[in-house]
Amino acid sequence: MVDQKKFTVSHAPFWHDGSCIRSRSYHTMLAALPAVLFGVVRYGMPAVGVISLAVSSAMIWEYVMNRIMRRDITIGDGNAALIGLIFAMLVPASSPWWMVIIGTFVAIVVAKQIYGGIGGNPFHPALVAVAMLMLSWKDLFDFDAALVNYEFDFAMAYPLAALKHFGTAAVENFTPGALLMGNQIGAVGTPFGLGLIAGGLYLIVRGFVRWEISLSFLAGIFVTAFIFHQADSARYAGPAFHLFTGYTLMGAFFLATEDSSSPVHFIPMLIYGAGGGILTMLIRNIGIHVDGVVFALLVMNIANPLLDKIRPKALGKVF
C-alpha cells in the first residue's frame, strides 16, 4: 500500500485570505521608498551607503541570531530588512559605518531576537537602536554638524534645533509647504514629508498599519503644539511646523504603528497614539532633547500591554 494516495488532513478553516508577513514587510518597505529615494537624491552616495549597510547588516544579524538560537532562518520574511531600512531612515546620511552596524545590532539582537523574535519585541527595534545611539554619541545625531559638508539652496539649520535654541523667530522661514517638500535638513528618510504621507496613506489604505494610531498620534501633536503656541508664540512653534519636522511623520506612519509594540483595540490605539503625540510635544517644548518622537514612542511602547487591557466586552461574557 506504499503507492496509496494520501490526502492532506488538516483543520478548519481551509481557506485563507492570502496575507502573509513577507508581503506585509515588503509593502511597508515599498511605502517608505518615496522618502528613501528622496534622501538618496539629496544626500547622494553616503545615504546609499548608510541604507545598504543598515539593511544588509540587519539581515546578517538576524541570520546570525537564527543560527545561534537554532531557530528557523527568518530573514526571508523581510522583517529584519524592514527594521534595517527604518533604522537607516532615522540616522544622518553622514553616519560612520560602525555606528550603523552597532545600531542594527542593537535593533535586531537586543531589541528583537532576545525577546523571541518577530512579535515578541516590546519596543520598536529601530527606536531602541536610535535611542541608544542618540544617548551614546550625541554629536553624531546633531544634524547641523553631521551635514556640515553639504550645500543646499535652503536654510541649512535643523529646524527643531533652531527652534529649541533661538525660538520661533529662527524658524519663520520654514513654511509648511517647504517642509513638506523636503526643504529642510534631517535624517536620511525623514525630511520629505509629502513622501512619508503618501507612504503612510498607502499603508493605511492597504490595511498594513492601523489608521487609528497614526491619526491619533498626529492629532496629539497638533493639539498639544497648538496649546503651547497659543500660550507663548515666541517660544513655541505652531502645529504645522511640528507636524512636518523631525521624526513626526516617520513616527506617525512607520514607528508608532509597529505591530508588536502597539495596541490592537480601538480605544487603546487612540490613547497610545495621542499619548505618543502629547509626550513628543512635551519633550520638544520643555524637555532637553531636540526631538521627542523616539523617547515618547518608547514610553508608549511600555504602556502598550496595559493599554490593551481596555477592550470591549466579549459576546456573551458573563461577568
Q: Tell me: does residue 239 bind another protein (CB under 8 A).
A: no
Q: Does 14 bind another protein (CB under 8 A)?
A: yes
- CA dist 152 and 144 (Å) reads 12
Residue reference for cell 507663548: 232
Site for another protein in 99-128 (CB under 8 A): 116-120
- List C-alpha distances in Å: 187 to 10, 95, 190: 49, 10, 5
Question: Toward another protein, which CB reaches closer, 184 or 261?
Answer: 261
Residue 2 lies near another protein (rule: CB under 8 A): no
Site for another protein in 17-36 (CB under 8 A): 17-21, 24
Based on the shown chain and the rule CB under 8 A, indicate whether residue 199 belongs to the binding site for another protein: no
Options 68, 135, 264, 286; binder of another protein; rule CB under 8 A: 264
Q: How many residues bind another protein (CB under 8 A)?
A: 46
CA 307 to chain CA mean position, Å = 20
Q: Is 6 in the site for another protein (CB under 8 A)?
A: yes
Looking up cell 523581510 gives 78
Nearer to another protein, 6 or 70 (CB): 6
Asked whether 148 and 177 are in contact (CB, 8 A), the reply is: no
Cβ burial 41-80 (10 Å sphere, 16+ → b, else e): ebbeebbbbbbebbbbbbbbbbeebbeeeeeeebeebbbb
* CA gap 185, 295 in Å, rounded: 21
**In which residue are the cell numbers 554638524 written?**
145
Please tell me the distance from the alpha carbon of residue 41 to that of residue 59, in angstroms, as a whole number.
24
Q: Please report how close the Cβ of residue 6 comes to another protein at its closest, in angstroms.
A: 6
Q: Does the protein bind another protein through residue 313 (CB under 8 A)?
A: yes
Binding flag, residue 73, another protein (CB under 8 A): no
Whose CA is closest to 209, among 171, 159, 264? Answer: 264
Residue 276 as a binder of another protein (CB under 8 A): the answer is no
Residue 210 binds to another protein (criterion: CB under 8 A) = yes
What would you report as the CA-atom Rg of the chain, rounded to the nearest whole angstrom?
21
Interface with another protein (CB under 8 A), residue from 56, 64, 287, 308: 308
Nearer to another protein, 234 or 316 (CB): 316
Q: Measured from the CB atom, is 235 or 265 closer to another protein?
A: 265
> Near another protein by CB under 8 A, which window of 99-107, 124-132, 237-245, 307-315?
307-315
204 touching another protein, by CB under 8 A:
yes
Q: How many CB atoms lie within 10 A of CB 81?
A: 20
The residues binding another protein (CB under 8 A) are 5-21, 24, 72, 77, 116-120, 204-208, 210-211, 259-260, 262, 264-265, 308, 311-318
